[in-house]
Amino acid sequence: MKSMERREFLKIAGLAGLALTGVGKLDLAAATAQQPSPVDLAVIQNGDPAAMVRKSLEVLGGISRFVKKGQVVVVKPNIGWDRVPEQAATTNPDVVAEIVRLCLKAGAAKVKVFDKTCNQARRCYQRSQIEKAASDAGAEVSHIYPQKFRKVTISQGKELKSWEFYQDALEADVFINVPIAKHHSLSRVTLGLKNIMGVIGENRGHIHNRFDVKIVDLNTVIKPQLTILDAVRILMDNGPQGGNLNDVKEMNMIIAGADPVAVDAYGATLFGLKPENLGFLQEAQRRNLGRMDIQKLKIEKVNLKA
């Protein structure tokens, strides 16, 4: 036990510097992505998943707005559960793969795909079919290394003053959040902001009480440059892992945008929820992470069937 403690200490001491430089880099990357956007949200419907992803980025002004040559990109899907894509508990593998392909096409040096899973990781990676789809598309898909979590001070944290974050997420030049839209008993719905829980360490159960504040605390550290919400199939009940196909609704929709709060706000409406009734969206807007007043945003809807 003693040697374990020493090891932990060395890990923290030896790499504190590294983690700090990682945070600095991320802020820099966030700043460079602040370019004028043609539209705030792209809402694409009724195509095959890959086509909808392509279209959404076209609407947003092209992937090159977000990914520059030589950058390291993290594409963060939800691989949390040991479920198959049809059960709508994990992000659609075709969506993930298409994003990976676009990033590589835009000249990304490397695209990393990972998630800290709730069920056993190998099962989730395989059965969600994300592992195969993403690595076939050229991504570096790896299971979480417990050793790669770094304690980060959350300067804007209200409830959480510090937490462990995954090194690869902290050091990424570009972070693309790819959640799936699902029912969740606690937060009513789980979308992009909650998907950030997949890059944090420690006991995530502690995030659950006073969730609305804590989830926003986490989102002040990891700020995705792009959020692409998978609403190809959405889970209407018994979330976040479902299991009953009757709870799955075919929406055939992709919602994408640079503002993570706006994407979530739009996603909430798919469940008949009003963004202003969701605590975590209110909190996120209050803290200037983005806007939930979607009526006032520029939204371009494209129906690929039409």
Partner 1 sequence: MRTARRISQAIFFLFFLYLFFQAAYPYEPFISSDTLLRFSPLVAITTLLATRQWIGPLVFAFIVLGLSIALGRYFCGWICPLGTTIDAADWLRRKLKRQSQPSRHLRTWKFTMLILLLVAAIFSLQLAWLFDPIVIMTRSFTAALFPIFGFLVQSLFDILIRFGVFQDSLYAVNDFLRESILPLEQVYFQNSVLLLLVLGSILLLTLLARRYWCRYLCPLGALFGGFASLRLTRGITVAGDKCIDCGKCQRECKMDAINDDFRSHSRVECIECMSCISVCPTQAISYRLNFHWAPENLDISRRRFLYSTAGSVITLATIRTAFPNKIAHGAVVRPPGALPEGEFLDRCVRCQACSKICSSTGACLQPALLESGLEGIWSPIVNARHGYCEYNCNLCGQVCPTGAIHPLPLDAKQKMRMGTAYFDKSRCIPWYRAEDCLVCEEHCPLPDKAIKFDIREARAPNGEIRVVKFPYVDESLCIGCGICVTKCPVAGPGGIFLTNALEQRWEENNPI
CB of 184 to partner 1, least distance (A): 7
Cβ proximity to partner 1: between 137 and 248 the closer is 248
What is the rounded CA–CA span in Å between residue 170 and residue 20? 9
15: contact with partner 1 by CB under 8 A: yes
Answer yes or no whether residue 277 interacts with partner 1 by CB under 8 A: no
* CA of residue 125 relative to chain centroid, distance: 16
Among 132, 210, 223, 287, which residue interacts with partner 1 (rule: CB under 8 A)? 210
Of the pair 122, 301, the CB lying nearest partner 1 is at: 122
Site string for partner 1, 128-167 (x = CB under 8 A): --------------xx-xxx--------------------
SS3 category, 130: helix
Interface stretch with partner 1, choices 25-33, 53-61, 208-216, 227-235 (CB under 8 A): 208-216
Cβ nearer to partner 1, comparing 54 with 214: 214
Question: Whole-angstrom Cα distance, residue 78 to residue 181?
Answer: 10
Q: What is the crossing angle of helices 49-59 and 93-105, to 10°?
A: 50
> CA dist 208 to 45, 103, 194, 197, 205, Å?
33, 33, 11, 11, 6
DSSP annotation string for 134-161? HHHTT-EE-PPPGGGEEEEE-TT-SS-S
Q: Is 119 in the site for partner 1 (CB under 8 A)?
A: yes
Member of 64, 244, 269, 288 binding partner 1 (CB under 8 A): 244
Shortest Cβ distance from residue 290 to partner 1 (Å)? 24
- 186 with 215: CB under 8 angstroms? no
Window 69-108: contact mask with partner 1 (x via CB under 8 A): -------------x--------------------------
Nearer to partner 1, 19 or 41 (CB): 19
Query: Position of tokens 């990976």?
Result: 100
Which CB, 118 or 292, lies closer to partner 1?
Answer: 118
Q: Work out whether 201 is an interface residue with partner 1 (CB under 8 A).
A: no
Whole-angstrom Cα distance, residue 18 to residue 254? 36
Count of residues binding partner 1 (CB under 8 A)? 36
Q: Which is nearer to partner 1, 61 or 279 (CB)?
A: 279
The residue type at 292: M
Which of 255, 282, 277 has the alpha carbon at shortest distance from 43? Answer: 255
The answer to the question of residue 217 lying near partner 1 (CB under 8 A) is: no
Instruction: Quote the least distance from Cβ 235 to partner 1, whole Å.
Output: 11
φ/ψ of residue 59, rounded to 5: -65, -40
* Tokens (6 digits) for 240: 């976040």
Cβ neighbours, 10 Å, residue 34 = 9
Residue (119 or 162) nearer to partner 1, CB: 119
Q: Are 138 and 101 in contact (CB under 8 A)?
A: yes
The yes or no reply on residue 238 touching partner 1 (CB under 8 A) is yes
Q: Parallel, antiparallel, or unpaired for β 149-153 and 162-166?
A: antiparallel
8-state DSSP, 231: E
The verdict on 282 binding partner 1 (CB under 8 A) reads: no
Q: What does the binding site for partner 1 look like in residue numbers (CB under 8 A)?
A: 7, 10-11, 14-15, 82, 118-123, 126-127, 142-143, 145-147, 184-186, 203, 205-206, 208-211, 238, 240-244, 247
